[in-house]
Structure 1
């Protein structure tokens, strides 16, 4: 067995047997791993208190054949306070489930880890609108995972769209100018200037600045609606945690 030291964020906990637990974690480098935490559900949880969902920790692991067993864990930063706000907790669960879906054991995406840590920080602080944190994470996480929407030019004629309006298709994942959008029809929706600026910011800014924007009114509603639609459509699945969040926070869009 080899000893491995790394830092990772807990995404999901799964009980195993009578006393053990598996922790699905996202490493600082953006790789997903499964960690067996033996005796984690016994009364004395001294060495496993940091091996929890919503906790960013330093781990000492034993690795054998690609399987990891917990030896030690110490907290770097925890986000347990999210549980004090049921809406923030539900949203954090969804962001973790989405991240779990978008990552695997073979590829690394450091930006995803940084973005998720920033999202959890924002939810704990409560200073940014939850719906904007959610939508910004959805847009950028999809982009980082190979599902980036193309806003660089009209996806129909190929010409650069120099002036608004810009239309966007969730299904095609691309923009179109006014003439092409009207000619093609389908689900091309006109982006408000505010939603377009926010989307461009989220897709192009440094990971640490993804959430550094403000948006309100119909533009915010459109930005958030399209983000959720785009994520669910291109992943071809729903999320139980999103259903839970929506039971607490029905969307403001139609």
Structure 2
């Protein structure tokens, strides 16, 4: 092992490794997506346990190995515990993590994607932003960040949807969640994002499948609500 390094990032994946360890995939500001092994993280009382969950944003102190990193310590900035208390929000958040994993590469810096994930998880927890709007903004900006997008909507729309599209394309992640759309404009915007998603994202996302199933179940059991 070499000297310790400190990085800031979000846990995209956490899975068991051996009898007591965890294997993490962390998207970091300094080194892009990396693999981190947390020794003993599954033991009761482990100081690593809380930091080894998806959604966690933290400053990680690591030992650098040949093919992966070892976790030495972590200072958690945000757990996003409220996502775990809301099944729908958790599905949206997990979907965002899957997309971030899809678009990022090992050891290739991608700070904009890390910031996008952070800002989008925060937006999910703000009642002022409809979650489907957060989803569509995230999808479009993730495609933009990955270099797979069109500067304008793929079909003709009204002015509001077209402006929203251009705003998402050209704004930094920190400024994305500053607007809402009326129902008609949102439908146009969402339809255009879906067209591009199907065109550019060559993957079936498990979290999205669960989310769509959950929404269908909710729609079938709850009375219709008027949109604001």
Give your verdict on TM over 0.5.
Answer: yes
Q: 2:204 and 2:192 mapped to 1: Cα distance? A: 15
Match of 1:142 in 2: 143
Q: 1:87 and 1:133 mapped to 2: Cα distance? A: 13
Match of 1:235 in 2: 201
Q: How many residues align?
A: 216
Pick the aligned partner of 1:200 from 160, 166, 173: 166
Q: 1:74 and 1:215 mapped to 2: Cα distance? A: 37
Match of 2:106 in 1: 105
Q: Secondary structure at the match of 1:76?
A: strand
Larger Rg: 1
Q: 1:67 and 1:133 mapped to 2: Cα distance? A: 33
Q: Check whether the contact 2:42–2:49 (CA below 8 A) recurs between aligned residues.
A: no
Deviation at 1:46, TM superposition (A): 1.7
Q: 1:249 and 1:124 mapped to 2: Cα distance? A: 18
TM-score when scaled to structure 2?
A: 0.88
**What are the within-5 Å matches in structure 2 for residues 16-165 of structure 1?**
16-29=17-30, 31-151=32-152
Q: Any unmatched runs of 5+ in structure 1?
A: 152-167, 170-188
Deviating 4+ runs (over 2 angstroms): 124-127
Deviation at 1:29, TM superposition (A): 4.1
Correspondence 1:220 to 2:186: yes
Q: 1:11 and 1:113 mapped to 2: Cα distance? A: 10
TM-score when scaled to structure 1?
A: 0.80
Q: 1:70 and 1:138 mapped to 2: Cα distance? A: 31
Q: 1:127 and 1:79 mapped to 2: Cα distance? A: 18
Deviation at 1:229, TM superposition (A): 3.3
**What are the within-5 Å matches in structure 2 for residues 1-16 of structure 1?**
1-2=1-2, 3-16=4-17
RMSD over equivalenced CA pairs, Å? 1.7
Q: 2:31 and 2:64 mapped to 1: Cα distance? A: 18
Deviation at 1:127, TM superposition (A): 2.7
Q: Secondary structure at the match of 1:194?
A: helix
